[in-house]
């Protein structure tokens, strides 16, 4: 583990190798969990074995959890690891490292058919020019970039999009940002949904607000919107449309409740029928056993078989009363199902 100094080396660690595992006796499981076994060991001589088994199970759980994290980690993809070249702070540290990361990104984009390989040399040349001139002159803004509040699309829109000598590089940056947007969070500086999201906002409202925001942005601001007749009519009837939507949702909810109610009643009826069938079979077996014991009593002349036969018949009578109760329940449920709209 001491050699896992980079992301790639960390992903290459063999989790099944016992050499990389911590001693199970040194595994920290929490103060309360540590205290309870100690109290138990004072009362039970075999508690030490149970304590070791518990720690071993904790270790197995951690191994499986970390293995799953490694399996699902996006960092195992070279494109994801090297896209960090777009982090302004990483870009500022080393031109050589940034160029190497960009080369890997370009290689992956060529392999997937996103760009043509003949453009790569020009993109790398533009990147070198951008790093030597534009980046150095605005190094403070690159160094102070905060991914918690800043957005990479806006950042590079300001520093890169207006430079004609870097137009091929700008196309690649836009492509990578678009590819990253679907899996990125606001904290990573890719998401633009942060501007329209509020608490308890439903999916339809979020989509509608996002469409409106994109439209306003595409025309260059609120002052450039063309207020057409269709737009004014839509705004005037918005409240009526909203109430119609609420009525539709209310009807859908009522229909869903009725469907769930009928489904629950059908399940109850099925269960009652199954219980009734089992009860009938049980009564049949009891009566058959009672008749068999009566025949043995008659053929062998032993009164004990008569006693067994009578006991079985009494049990069958009791089950028949239970069966009558089930039949009444079944009749009531069928009537209730018929009356349910």
User: pLDDT value at position 45?
Assistant: 62
Q: Taking CA 31 as the corner, what is the angle to CA 28 and CA 34, rounded to the nearest 5 degrees? A: 70
Could you state, in order of their start, the residue ranges of all structural domains in the chain?
7-74, 78-191, 195-225, 258-339
Tokens matching residue 241: 């449309």
CA distance 91 to 144: 12
CA distance 341 to 329: 20
> Per residue of the chain (341 residues), what is the pLDDT tens digit?
566 667 767 777 777 777 777 777 777 776 666 666 556 556 666 666 777 777 788 888 888 888 888 777 777 788 888 888 888 888 888 888 889 999 999 999 999 888 888 889 999 999 988 888 877 777 788 888 887 777 888 888 888 888 888 889 988 888 888 776 644 443 444 455 555 555 566 778 878 888 888 888 888 888 888 888 988 898 889 889 889 989 999 999 999 998 998 898 999 999 999 999 999 998 999 898 988 888 888 888 777 888 888 888 888 899 899 999 999 999 998 888 888 77
User: pLDDT value at position 212?
Assistant: 87
Those residues whose C-beta lies under 8 Å from the C-beta of residue 169, and which sit 6 or more positions away, are 123, 126, 127, 130, 160
Average pLDDT of every residue of the chain? 81
3-state secondary structure 167-225: HHHHHHHHHHHHHHHCCCCHHHCCCCHHHCCCCCCCHHHHHHHHHHHHHHHHHCCHHHC
């Amino acid at each position: 583990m001491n050699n896992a100094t980079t992301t790639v080396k960390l992903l290459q660690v063999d989790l099944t190798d016992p050499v990389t595992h911590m001693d199970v006796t040194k595994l920290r499981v929490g103060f309360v969990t540590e205290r309870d076994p100690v109290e138990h060991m004072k009362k039970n001589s075999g508690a030490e074995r149970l304590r070791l088994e518990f720690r071993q199970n904790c270790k197995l759980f951690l191994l499986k959890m970390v293995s799953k994290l490694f399996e699902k980690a996006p960092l195992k993809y070279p494109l994801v690891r090297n896209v960090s070249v777009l982090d302004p702070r990483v870009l500022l540290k080393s031109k050589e490292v940034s160029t190497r990361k960009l080369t890997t990104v370009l290689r992956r984009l060529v392999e997937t058919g996103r760009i043509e390989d003949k453009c790569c040399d020009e993109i790398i040349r533009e990147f070198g020019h951008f790093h030597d001139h534009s980046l150095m002159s605005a190094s403070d803004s690159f160094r102070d970039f905060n991914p918690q509040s800043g957005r990479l699309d806006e950042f590079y829109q300001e520093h890169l999009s207006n430079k004609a000598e870097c137009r091929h590089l700008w196309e690649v940056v836009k492509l990578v940002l678009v590819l990253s947007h679907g899996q990125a969070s606001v904290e990573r500086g890719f998401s633009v949904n942060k501007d329209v999201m509020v608490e308890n906002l439903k999916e339809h409202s979020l989509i509608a607000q996002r469409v409106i925001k994109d439209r306003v942005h595409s025309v260059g601001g609120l002052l450039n919107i063309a207020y057409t007749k269709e737009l004014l009519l839509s705004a005037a009837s918005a409240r009526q449309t909203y109430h119609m939507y609420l009525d539709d949702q209310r009807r859908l909810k009522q229909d869903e409740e009725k469907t769930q109610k009928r489904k629950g009643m059908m399940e109850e009826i099925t269960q009652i029928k199954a219980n009734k069938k089992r009860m009938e079979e049980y009564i049949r077996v009891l009566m058959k056993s009672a008749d068999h014991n009566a025949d043995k009593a008659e053929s062998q002349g032993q009164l004990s078989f008569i006693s067994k036969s009578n006991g079985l018949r009494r049990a069958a009578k009791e089950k028949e009363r239970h069966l009558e109760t089930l039949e009444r329940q079944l009749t009531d449920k069928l009537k209730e199902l018929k009356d349910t709209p």
